[in-house]
Amino acid sequence: MSQKKINSILEEIASNGSKWNVIMDNILDPNYEKKPELLSEITIQLYDKIEETEKAYQEGWFRFYFTAICCNQVKSSTSSFHRNCRETLNTRHNKYFNKIVVEMEHGWTAKEHKELQINQKLRLKLIKQASKRADLKSKWIESEMARLHLKEGLSFRKIESYYEGTIKYTRAHQLFSRWKKKFNIELQKLVKSNS
């Protein structure tokens, strides 16, 4: 398949109202604003796997191939689309901070602002306490997965390579999920006792 052929396929995919556009909309629902990013990742993948793309197109199963690429990009937590479009913790924090600034500009008093800061400090304190309690109630390996994922910022695939394949990424995710469940229980208890 020539570069020209792939370009014509991509033009068809990107045009409004095409069957490809409908497939992307169905998979992205309700996050339609992420379509340009998804289209970018699909383009990269089609060019990277040019032989597979050619085979799928010539044998008549390109629609299935395209749908599988879209689903993998959107649904997988390890896809390039997911990594590039996921909000980071800092972005979420900045949204929260900007909300406070906007509300202050619309008539919040300094006292209300100070109370909000105290509530934020209390929340952070409760999160630290819940984390310590979850560590005490968890096995060492569960706490280690939580530390690597949350504090070190490693993805589960990177944790697998960190342990040189002795712990598979799916197992690392399961262990982290157990820790997270215990953490949420402890946090709820602390929130109830402080309210």
pLDDT in tens, 13-40: 777 777 777 787 777 777 777 777 878 8
pLDDT in tens, 75-103: 777 777 777 775 443 444 445 445 544 44
**C-alpha closest to that of 148 among 136, 139, 160, 137:** 160
- Calculate the alpha carbon distances from 98 to 92, 93, 94, 101, 114 in Å: 10, 9, 6, 5, 16
Per cent of the chain over pLDDT 70 is 79
Cis bond upstream, residue 36 (ω within 30): no
Question: What is the DSSP code (8-state) at residue 150?
Answer: I
pTM, two decimal places: 0.42
pLDDT of the residue at 122: 75
pLDDT in tens, 121-141: 777 787 888 888 888 888 888
